[in-house]
Amino acid sequence: MATTGLDVFDRTLHKTHGWLNDLMRELGWQEKHRAYLALRATLHALRDWMTIEEVAQLGAQLPMLIRGFYYDAWDPTGKPVRERRKEEFLGRIAQEFRGGERIDPEPVARAVFAVLERRITEGEIEDVKHVLPAEIRSLWPEAHQGAA
């Protein structure tokens, strides 16, 4: 574990590395920076598609460092967004990959949702899925599709 001299920072760094490592395994990627971009882009898209109340409830369960970039540059005005189709959601993820890197956003979203499914309480995941359109719910792992 890193030693920043402050236990709370060391713990959140350790947890964040765990999330990124899980995501890298899901995607078959080797670069932690790409995994960070994937997690950030998907969390930003997700947060903008949810009600403000649900954004806060999910945010409360994220590790402190991940919570920081989840809320980074967020403006709750006009949220949730009016675009409610899967293509717009995936387009939002693709657009956050900067520098011209092309990624397929659907496997990215599915991988991030799989990590969330393992690391966030089942009740909160069900609440998140409940506020999302069916097209976006279809990106979540199959195990809980019937419950949403």
Domain containing residue 99: 7-72+79-147
Q: Coil, helix or strand for 17? A: helix
Instruction: Answer yes or no: is 85 within a domain.
Output: yes
Instruction: Answer yes or no: is 19 within a domain.
Output: yes
Instruction: Answer yes or no: is 41 within a domain.
Output: yes
Instruction: Tell me the pTM.
Output: 0.91
Instruction: Answer yes or no: is 1 within a domain.
Output: no
Distance CA 82, CA 72 (A): 21
Per-residue tokens: 91: 């387009």
Instruction: Answer yes or no: is 84 within a domain.
Output: yes
Predicted local distance difference test score (pLDDT) of residue 59: 98
How confident is the chain (148 residues) per 10-residue block, as mean pLDDT? Answer: 79 96 97 96 96 97 97 93 90 84 92 98 96 95 53
Can you give the CATH number for the domain in which 121 is found?
1.10.490.110
Task: Report the domain count for the chain.
Answer: 1
Distance CA 34, CA 38 (A): 6
Taking Cα atoms as reference points, which of 148, 116, 123 lies closest to residue 135? 148
Distance CA 118, CA 141 (A): 10
Predicted local distance difference test score (pLDDT) of residue 147: 38
Predicted local distance difference test score (pLDDT) of residue 5: 76
